[in-house]
Amino acid sequence: MNKKHSGYCALCLEYKDKLTFEHIPPRSSGNNSRAKIYNGQELIGSNKLPWDFSEMHYENAQQGAGKYSLCKKCNNKTGRWYGAAYSQFAQQIKETFETSFSHLIQTGEINIKNIYPLQVIKQIFSMFCSANPPTDDHINYKPVVYPFSTQIPTSPIQKLILAQYNLVNAEYWIDDLRKVVLDKERTGLNYGRFKICMYFTLSPLLKINGISESLNLNHHDPVSVSEIVTYPVGFLLILNPNNAISYPGIDITHWADYAYNDCTSISLPLCMYPVNSWIPIDFRSREEIQKCIEANKSFLG
At residue 114, the pLDDT reads 96
Considering the entire predicted model, what is its pTM? 0.88
At residue 100, the pLDDT reads 92
Contact in structure between 165 and 190 (CB atoms under 8 Å): no
At residue 278, the pLDDT reads 84
How far apart are the two ends of the chain, measured CA to CA in Å?
A: 52
Contacts of 188 (CB under 8 A, 6+ apart): 256, 257
At residue 79, the pLDDT reads 94
Query: How many CB atoms are closer than 10 A to CB 192?
Result: 10
In degrees and rounded to multiples of 5, residue 160 shows phi and psi of -65, -40
**Omega before residue 25 within 30° of 0, cis:** yes
In degrees and rounded to multiples of 5, residue 272 shows phi and psi of -105, 135
Angle at 30 between CA 276 and CA 57, to 5 degrees: 50
Strand order in the sheet with 207-216: 207-216, 221-230, 233-239, 194-200, 250-251
In degrees and rounded to multiples of 5, residue 195 shows phi and psi of -140, 135
Beta strands in the chain (DSSP E): 7-8, 15-16, 20-23, 35-38, 58-61, 66-70, 109-115, 194-200, 207-216, 221-230, 233-239, 250-251, 264-269
Q: For every one of its 301 residues, what pLDDT tens digit does the chain have, with 9 covering 90 and above?
A: 456 789 999 999 999 999 999 988 887 776 777 777 777 666 666 677 878 877 777 777 667 778 899 999 999 999 999 999 999 999 999 999 999 999 999 999 999 999 999 999 999 999 999 999 887 776 666 666 666 655 566 666 777 777 777 777 777 788 899 999 999 999 999 998 999 999 999 998 888 988 888 765 555 677 889 999 998 999 999 998 888 888 999 999 999 999 999 999 999 999 999 999 888 889 999 999 889 888 877 777 6
Q: Distance (Å, rounded) from C-alpha 278 to C-alpha 119?
A: 28
Q: How many residues does the chain have?
A: 301
